[in-house]
Amino acid sequence: MKEKKKKGLYTYQKVILSYFMSFTICIWALYPFMYKILNYPPGTVDTQFQIDYGGLTYTKQFFVIYLFIVITFIIFQRFVLFRKIANWERHGDTRYTSEDVRYTLLTAPTKFYLLQIIIPFIAVTVGLGMPIVKHEVETSGITVAILLVAVFTFNATISYVFSKNLFKTVLFKTFKENNLIRKHSSLSKDMMLLLIPLLIAGLFFTVIVSYSRLVNVRGTDIYRYYKQELNYTFSENTSYTEEEMIDKMNKINYLNKADTYFIIDQDKNITTSDGIALTDFFKKYIFELSDENDGRVYEHYAVNTQGYIKHIIVNNQNYIIGIRYPISGGDALNYIVITFVILFGVISFLVWYYSKSLADQINTIVSGLKEINTKNNEEFKRISIVSNDELGELTVEFNKIQSLTKRNIEQIHNNQEMLMERERFASLGQLIGGIAHNLKTPIMSIAGATEALADLIKEYDESIGDPEVTNSDHHEIAKDMKKWLDKVKTYVSYMSDVITTVKGQAISSDDNIQSFTIEELLNRVSILMKHELNHSLVEIRYNLDVDKGFTINGNINALVQVIDNLISNGIQAYNGKPNNIIDFSITEKDGNIIFSIRDYGSGISEEVQKKLFKEMITTKGKNGTGLGLYMSYSNIKAKFNGDISFESEIGKGTTFNISIPYKKS
């Protein structure tokens, strides 16, 4: 069945057209400036002078190079590079599978990019044989080569960027679930391949343009100097002898040892001071164009040797005297800066555009990852492979794990709930053990007070009606009873504080946001950690640089839990060794309250340091869940918009810093 003709351009045609347009713009944008950059002498561009000397005008030479490159590349693109794509897309050629087409699409832009840099050297070699440069290959030929290669490199970068994006359409259409990448391409290598030639071309172009400007400025300065010297040395209507003429020419103050003079008599016989003959171009320019340029003479196209001539009378005959001088660079810093700025803008745009295309691929993967987080029991969408670099390989691996993702997420949720519950029970168990010990002392004291009160009551009862018991004795008994009641009240108050603190830690709510002072925080920490500190024979040394009445807004129970966890870790860092110290400092810095808990224990290994706060990790073996620090970090981030950091050194201890922002009143 014959395939229905497609409306519009095919993808490969769009790529060829984009190349043609970008190259045309680049090359013809250079056209009006190239002869200026090459310092072509005035009056020699697209004139009869150029035809007589070289055979082809500047425009014709430019057009020949342009036509050669365009035809060569378009033919190569259509019948070599994009042959498979064209036959598959245009005719539905079954000889090529979608895998063949995809491989071509993935590799073609890079191949074409390299060829656009290599082939211009061939064109330049042909150009060096043209009449315009055949006499001075070492100077003008090399300059032309650098300029053309720079332009072709810029265009290669443009076409590479646009072709990668144009090919995405076909890559999406040809994607199948079992698509593989035949050959792995490195994203970093692709970036280097793109940027290095571009930067080198930009550097070369800048150097050529800068040098051209330097030569132009310097040449004008030297020309004006020798014009003034010759006009001052030789009068207009004065006749000189040959001896006088030569003597005056020798007495001129030459700027450089390489500067030489020449003399042309009425019969066009030429004598030079250094014995080196003038070039044909130089002589032709003297006789045909020097008068139009106020005596200024040029040795050749793009050759940086110039001269100045003056007509004088010698022995009543018309002579031409002149000075020929090579040119070195002058000061054109502004010109260089402007050139660099323009090049930087172009390069920045191209890099940005290419980076954007890479970002689009990354965003495709990110979108797929987001679907994992938002979809619970649905099938996840697979991502199309649109590149053969690291991103393409990442997409392949991403698609491979899709079938496992949903089950893993469910398992993670179940495990997380189980671990959280386990950590909660473990914390409560440890808390209850400590609280039981904390309550034992006040309970025993209350029991002792009760017995003392019972004895006093019995004593008072027996004293009733006893004439030997005075009023003073009754007051003494009452005083003792009040003393024991005050002790009971103190013990009961302490027990109430303990119960309130434990209750807060046991049923802490995420919404329990309140104001609390540093003193309240320290009291709760002291109550909860008292038993563990006493049992381990570790002392907390407080260092407060803020007032105890300083107020913080937040969930006090969450902060107490975090601080208790860090103190417990500090105690365990001593590995059961008694009589040690934990420093607990509270300071204020840059709108943050800093809580620092420092131990002088064994320290944290480098391997564990890399994983802290990033995953659940424990050094306690079966006795730990790894949730402690992980939950502490999450609590400080979520409930206080703060942060936790640490410093640790093996054998010297560890410091954890909790930073909580506050609003200054």
Q: What is the pLDDT of residues 418-441, one digit of tens each?
A: 655 565 555 555 556 556 656 666
CATH (one of 1.10.3720.10, 3.40.50.300, 3.30.70.100, 3.30.565.10) for 509-665:
3.30.565.10
**Residue 477 burial class via C-beta count within 10 angstroms: exposed 0-12, middle 13-18, buried 19 and up:** middle
The average pLDDT across 85-90 equals 72
Q: How far apart are CA 81 and CA 67, in angstroms?
A: 20
The residue among 583, 575, 586, 584 whose CA lies nearest residue 549 is 586
Query: Nearest 5 degrees, angle CA 192-CA 196-CA 202?
Result: 150
Conformation bin of residue 315: beta by default, left when phi > 0, alpha when psi is -120 to 50: left
Any idea where the domains of the chain sit in the sequence?
11-185, 219-326, 333-400, 403-507, 509-665
The residue among 332, 333, 331, 278 whose CA lies nearest residue 306 is 278
Q: What is the pLDDT of residue 577?
A: 86
The average pLDDT across 187-198 equals 67
Instruction: Return the residue matching tokens 């950690």.
Output: 529
Q: What is the pLDDT of residue 248?
A: 93
Task: Please give the mean pLDDT across all residues of the chain.
Answer: 76
Q: What is the pLDDT of residue 24?
A: 86
Enumerate residues 6+ apart whose C-beta is below 8 A from 76: 115
Q: pLDDT tens across 21-72, in order? A: 888 888 888 888 888 888 889 998 989 898 888 788 888 888 887 888 788 8
| Two tokens, residue 429 | 């168990």
Q: How far apart are CA 164 and CA 354, in angstroms?
A: 9
Q: Residue 102 pLDDT > 70, yes or no?
A: yes
Q: pLDDT tens across 479-492, in order? A: 877 777 777 776 67
β-strand 305-314 against 239-240: which pairing, if any? parallel
Q: What is the pLDDT of residue 525?
A: 84
Q: Which helix (H) or strand (E) holds 372?
A: helix 333-374
**Residue 377 burial class via C-beta count within 10 angstroms: exposed 0-12, middle 13-18, buried 19 and up:** exposed
Q: Which fold has domain 219-326?
A: Beta-Lactamase (3.30.450)
Q: How far apart are CA 187 and CA 189, in angstroms?
A: 5
| Two tokens, residue 188 | 């970093």
Considering only residues 112 and 539, tell me which one the structure prediction assigns the higher pLDDT. Answer: 539
Q: In which band, very low, low, confident or very high, does the pLDDT at 265 lie, cut at 50, 70 and 90?
A: very high
Q: What is the pLDDT of residue 336?
A: 53
The average pLDDT across 190-200 equals 70
Q: What is the pLDDT of residue 241?
A: 93
Identity of residue 648: S
Angle, helix 518-536 to helix 402-463, in steps of 10 degrees: 90
- Tell me, yes or no, if the two domains 219-326 and 509-665 fold the same way: no
Q: Residue 656 pLDDT > 60, yes or no?
A: yes
- To the question of pTM greater than 0.95 for the whole model, the response is no
Q: Which helix (H) or strand (E) holds 517?
A: strand 514-517
Q: How far apart are CA 197 and CA 481, in angstroms?
A: 98
Angle, helix 187-233 to helix 333-374, in steps of 10 degrees: 170
Q: Residue 180 pLDDT > 60, yes or no?
A: no
Considering only residues 631 and 142, tell me which one the structure prediction assigns the higher pLDDT. Answer: 631
